[in-house]
Amino acid sequence: MSQRSTGGGAIVGSFEGGGLPPDDIVVGALRDGDEAMFAALLDTWSRGMLRVARSYVSTDHSAEEVVQDTWLAVIDGIDAFEGRASVKTWVFRILVNTAKKRGVRESRTLPWSAFERDGDVFADLGAAAQGARVDGASGWPTPEGEALAAEVRVLIAEALGRLPPRQRVVITLRDVEGCTSDEVCEILEISAANQRVLLHRARTAVRGWLADYYESVKQPE
């Protein structure tokens, strides 16, 4: 999972393996007004930022505004950046805080604290996921065919939308965007154990939905 294409443009590609240079270089370049560097960050991280924002707000449009406001805050704040966290963590923390505020304002999502008991929400949503534990453990077709892969992509996107918000953010950052667990803990300010529990519940639920899907593909009624 460490190698993931960033989907970025040519500028990102010009950095080795699609990776960004070390933080001190990034920060120096941004402070010097290096547009190519800013564009590289924009193109590398905005994709993950849009997905994360969507965990908190109701529409694609809101998510994009959250990402936009985040970048504006980054532009404003880069001179004051102290380097206590990585640039990426710093940017994503601004994003999460911006998205939370926006989400609360929209009254579409509940405050973060309302999801402390994710387990209960999971029990409702994940009945199929858990029930399928043994019976559903049959072989899955390899998603080689493009049509199947495309369907699975859609299913995954829907599955993410059905997860409780805390689980959704964690699995999005970890498994969709390829962040490390340390990064996720720092961005969300949660413990490693908590992060692991949320990630595991999310993966278990998504596996269950995938199992249901493969089951339905195999034996249409």
Partner 1 sequence: MKRFIPETRAVNVVKRFTCDELAELLTAYLEDALDQPSRDGVRAHLSCCEGCGRYFDQFRTTIKVLGDQPPEKLSAPVRDRLMSAFRNRNRHHHDPDRRS
Distance (Å, whole) CA 42 – CA 103: 23
Q: Residue 68 interacts with partner 1 (CB under 8 A)?
A: yes
Q: Residue 143 interacts with partner 1 (CB under 8 A)?
A: yes
The one among 85, 112, 204, 212 contacting partner 1 by CB under 8 A: 204
173, 201, 154, 93: CA torsion to nearest 10? -20
Q: Residue 72 interacts with partner 1 (CB under 8 A)?
A: yes
- Shortest distance, CB of residue 111 to partner 1, whole angstroms? 27
Q: Considering beta carbons, is residue 14 or 110 the nearer one to partner 1?
A: 14
Which positions from 21 to 60 touch partner 1 by CB under 8 A, shown as an x/- string? ------------x-x--xx--xx--xx--xx---------
Q: Residue 175 interacts with partner 1 (CB under 8 A)?
A: yes
At residue 144, what are phi and psi to the nearest 5 degrees? Answer: -85, -45
Which positions from 89 to 128 touch partner 1 by CB under 8 A, shown as an x/- string? ----------------------------------------
Residue partners of 69: CB distance under 8 A and separation at least 6: 98
Distance (Å, whole) CA 191 – CA 52: 19
The one among 25, 114, 128, 157 contacting partner 1 by CB under 8 A: 157
Q: Residue 158 interacts with partner 1 (CB under 8 A)?
A: no
- Please give the residue ranges that form the binding site for partner 1 (CB under 8 A): 1, 4-7, 33, 35, 38-39, 42-43, 46-47, 50-51, 64, 67-68, 71-72, 75-76, 133-134, 137-140, 143, 149, 152-153, 156-157, 171, 175-176, 178, 181, 192, 196, 199-200, 203-204, 206-207, 210-211
